Structure 1
Amino acid sequence: MSTFVSAAPEKAAKKKPTFKIIWFILSFVTLGVVLALPIGGDLSWQGQIALAVLAFAVIMWVSEAVSYPVSSILVISLVAVLIGVSPDPKKPGEIMGTDEGLKMALGGFSTSSVALVAAALMLAAAMQTTGLHKRLALYVLKISGEKVSNVIIGTIVISIILAFFVPSATARAGAVVPILLGMVAAFGMDKRSNLGAILIITAAQSISIWNVGIKTAAAQNLVALGFLQSKTGQTVSWGDWFLWAAPWSLLMSVVLYFVMRAVIKPEVDTIAGGKANVIQQLNELGPISGAEKRLIGISVALLAMWATEDLLHPLDSATVTIIAIALLLLPGIGVYNWKVLEPLVNWGTLIVFAIGISLGSVLLKTGAAEWLSKQIFGSLGLEDKPLVATIALVSVFTILIHLGFASATALASALIPVYIALALTLPTPDGGIGFVVIQQFVISFGFLLPVSAPQNMLAYGTGTFTSKQFLKSGIPLTVIGYLLIVLLSATYWKWLGLV
């Protein structure tokens, strides 16, 4: 799902070991400094510990001094020990105990969102095992033909289709990017040509756009919903999310087409031999296999169950996805067995996701999120401003903060608890769920830099474009995407009662 193989621990540009050591040391120094600050007031000692661990985690995540799974395990250890040896506010003279601290540190593993992420990782592995996602992409590009404008549209359409069935941004990019590179090579052009740049950047940006449109397309969406369920008890169905977010993604898909045509001019208007290359790749795949047919059947049924959640049946998204995985593992019905599945799933993704939820839950339970919200936004008087104005202001803050994060999942873990605390102070019609969900949409904005999202880095690794070219498309996409967020907040989402 901004990584299931998408919120997966993302690989950013390699940093020199010396700088990694410096950042690693700085993380612990910052932890100690925050713990030593005489904050007091309405922030409990447990809340101050939570803030210190958050500061530690943010530096680790931004600098990538160690991998995401390793930094996440460090976060577990710190929460368990520091909360465990802190005074128990309910029992003066006693400490809370590391058993209680560990329960808080591992709280994220017990949420239904983690079960959904695990199942989605396995679903992405099913696509990878059968190659069905590649076949779907090739079919669409075969229909698109050889005109560059049509191939751009085809690339966007592929991203839309795969977002429904492949809950992993990097898996979707991994399916589409090699095919597009093959088309460029078939024309005999250098991969660093404008043609290569426009196609590969379009693929990456369209994947980011549809991380917003589909609840199950990106892990960061489930981080936000996990926090909401934990704090408020409210859930968001797959259909509700689609009703809210898909119009934004559809509009942005149209915008993406015109932006890409405007900022990068390909050397040719037609990719001669491109369709033949696609047909050749389809022929190499051979006829559709029985496993692919079974996966199509199960995936379509799963999509139908997601879309009719709370309408035709009482089963939530996590439950029906787990049932689908059970079917995919059964002999005769499924497409793989556990021996095949196990090495295909990035289990580090699950650890990062669950511990991100744990950290956010600790921030909420200790009051640290509420305190941090007051410090950041308290002086702005947002509770007295129109909700649309608040959404506009906070969205700018979210976009700017994202520049420092390579992982939208990590960003959601850091910001969503603060936004939930802020939402509870605002005049919202639904207890703040709309405000938080809209900010989650903005968290998925990974348009500006190659390091802003894992699918961007996968695309950038092909060497087909420069950071400057990516930024040329990213700036207008970010500005227009932001303006659409504000516009829909004032109109469509208001009519739906989300704002």
Structure 2
Amino acid sequence: MAITGDQSKPSNQPERVDVEKALLGGSTYRGLAEQKLSPAEERFEKARRTAGFVLAPLAAIVVFLLPLDLPQTQHNVAAVLAGVIVAWVTEPVPIPVSGLIGASLLVLLGVGGDEGADGVLAPFGSGTVFTFIGAFILAQSMLVHGLARRFAFRVLSIPGVARSSFRIVIAFGLITALASAWISNTATVAMLMPTAVGILGVIGNLVQDKHQADGTVHRFDPTRMRIGFAMMLMLAYGASVGGLLTPVGSPPNLIGRELIEKATDKPIPFGTWMAMAFPICALMFVGLAVVLLLLNRPEIRHLTGVEDYVRREREALGKMSRAEKNTLVAFAVTVVLWVFPAVVGLVAGTGSGAYETVSNNLDEGVAAVLGAALLFVLPTDWRTREFTLRWSDAARIDWGTIVLFGSGVVFGTLLEETGLAETIGKGAFGALNIGSAVAITVFAALLAIVVSETTSNTASAAVVVPIVIPLAVAAGVDPLTPALAATFAASFGFMLPVSTPQNAIVYGSGTVPITKMIRSGFSFDIIGALLIIILLPVLASALL
């Protein structure tokens, strides 16, 4: 795939890596022997993972033994969650296994109450988990039939984009943000991740050419390219940024808006929300691009000759195959089903019986599974009963990521159901002794960000916004701005794979180490929090 004319290599040179095969074979966890690391990186990774065997159980034991004034169930959840978070960061065992161990400990500690294991493990069958399964199968079909490669070259063919790796990352982020403003963040990432992998396949061969010219091809690892870190994190974070732009862009928006309108009797029209959110989203995107490109500087900045190569490859692809068309049909049906409840809400109102019926019976998980099922129904050759996707193809998706996010949903559900999230919020509020509008807004934004790091952004909004509104009222402060700050900040979950569905999907590509996600996510958390705290009060007072 590289653009160099002569692909021959001297006999003493290591064999070239099949970049596409390496990228498509990504997994949630790779041992040290499966990675190509420098001596310094290998020492750090060994120390980090070895320390996890001690620090993870130690964190759980310390929290469990602390004399906290909590109900025993909340105390148990806090202790196990502390240990699991440390294990997720240090990776002494595969991250999905850490989640399963944590969920099992919750059962043993009796957190499920009278329902036992069912009370703890029921979230593994939630609609969010089924959204993952369906989205991953759809993405796999795009990869198997080359649709990802076709989309990749289409993006690269935008005038001027293919000349710079910086422009590719930024353009890809803009596409992601604009798409996620209208369809769910999860759907956006599911649609564009195969495209990102295709683009990385092209650039990866160019990077490999550079390593080969420098005599360092033995150190080349397609799944550990800095351009790959930037591209994949732009996909995950760009979806979160774009999701803020419209009320239907992300579930926390709808939840927060409904709670605010009920508490304040002030409607927030669709256009007003967009006018208020646009400056914040625009500046957040600029900050995102700066952070990702500074922390993950692409190995190659100027991509000479790629435009001609892309044109030749697009011509060689020819017309779309029946399998590609079927995949597009299946995905289009899925997107329509994803968007349909929001459309009903806009037309009939989110308080109408029609919206309640549709949203309750057609959630994202159902839509994703129905769309994915079409891949096994739409034929490519009816005479031989050959369909778009075989189960052997679907079986190759990264099920570890499904397990990982399932365990995250378990902890998020228990944080809410046991009341631990509310206890944390009220305790922090009382300890800080805050009463001014500015202080409450800062508190609301920071609390929502912290909660969203360990639970879903939807749960974060559902837990934090109800805490903030009565606290603001008790302090004699208009709850509108603090509640909006909590709503916006609830979409901030950038540091861990379990923080948002899009983080988990991107992490499942195998091209983003958790340490890179934590470092970039922490930086972006700070930028986003500052923008919300500074700009939102001004915009809200001017527009509402």
Q: Indicate whether the TM-score tops 0.5.
A: yes
- Which residue among 177, 180, 183 is the counterpart of 2:203? 180
CA distance in structure 2 between the aligned counterparts of 1:385 and 1:62, rounded to whole angstroms: 36
Tell me which residue corresponds to 2:392. Answer: 339
Q: Which amino acid aligns with 2:203?
A: L
Q: Which amino acid aligns with 1:178?
A: G
Q: Equivalent residue of 1:143, what SS?
A: coil
- Compare 477-486 and 180-189 and name the one that shifted more: 180-189
Q: Which amino acid aligns with 2:240?
A: V
* 1:82 to partner: Cα distance: 0.8
Conservation of the 8 A alpha-carbon contact between 1:155 and 1:202: no
- Which residue among 414, 422, 436 is the counterpart of 1:385? 436
Query: Which gives a bigger RCO, structure 1 or 2 (Cα 8 Å, sep 6+)?
Result: 1
- Which residue among 297, 321, 346 is the counterpart of 1:289? 321
Q: CA RMSD in A?
A: 5.1
Conservation of the 8 A alpha-carbon contact between 2:457 and 2:490: yes
Per the alignment, do residues 380 and 171 of structure 1 end up closer, same or farther by CA in structure 2, a change over 3 Å counting? farther
Q: Could you tell me the TM-score, scaled by structure 2's length?
A: 0.63
Conservation of the 8 A alpha-carbon contact between 1:223 and 1:353: no
CA distance in structure 1 between the aligned counterparts of 2:97 and 2:235, rounded to whole angstroms: 27
Tell me which residue corresponds to 1:207. Answer: 235
Aligned positions of 1:24-423 closer than 5 A: 24-40=53-69, 43-83=70-110, 96=113, 100-145=115-160, 147-148=163-164, 151=168, 153-157=170-174, 159-160=176-177, 165-167=188-190, 171=194, 173-182=196-205, 203-213=231-241, 248-254=280-286, 271-283=303-315, 285-312=317-344, 314=358, 315-332=362-379, 335-344=388-397, 346-382=398-434, 384-386=435-437, 389-393=439-443, 395=445, 419=464, 422-423=467-468
CA distance in structure 1 between the aligned counterparts of 2:407 and 2:251, rounded to whole angstroms: 10
Conservation of the 8 A alpha-carbon contact between 1:364 and 1:370: yes
Per the alignment, do residues 203 and 158 of structure 1 end up closer, same or farther by CA in structure 2, a change over 3 Å counting? farther
Conservation of the 8 A alpha-carbon contact between 2:376 and 2:389: yes
CA distance in structure 2 between the aligned counterparts of 1:63 and 1:458, rounded to whole angstroms: 16
Aligned-residue sequence identity (percent) comes to: 23
CA distance in structure 2 between the aligned counterparts of 1:171 and 1:295, rounded to whole angstroms: 13
Conservation of the 8 A alpha-carbon contact between 2:457 and 2:492: no
Q: Equivalent residue of 2:304, what SS?
A: coil
Q: Could you tell me the TM-score, scaled by structure 1's length?
A: 0.68
**2:532 aligned with 1:485, yes or no?**
yes
Conservation of the 8 A alpha-carbon contact between 2:225 and 2:299: no
Q: Which amino acid aligns with 1:62?
A: V
Per the alignment, do residues 303 and 189 of structure 1 end up closer, same or farther by CA in structure 2, a change over 3 Å counting? farther
* 1:105 to partner: Cα distance: 1.3
Deviations 1:434-493 (A, max 9, x none): 5554223222378xxxxxx785996678xxxx98xx98x999866654443335533556
* 1:135 to partner: Cα distance: 1.4
CA distance in structure 1 between the aligned counterparts of 2:255 and 2:122, rounded to whole angstroms: 11
* 1:336 to partner: Cα distance: 0.7
* 1:430 to partner: Cα distance: 8.5
**Structure 1 segments unaligned to the other structure (5+ residues):** 86-95, 447-452
Conservation of the 8 A alpha-carbon contact between 1:186 and 1:273: no
Conservation of the 8 A alpha-carbon contact between 2:123 and 2:409: yes
Deviations 1:26-60 (A, max 9, x none): 433433343333334xx222222122222222222
CA distance in structure 2 between the aligned counterparts of 1:227 and 1:33, rounded to whole angstroms: 36
How many pairs align?
A: 442
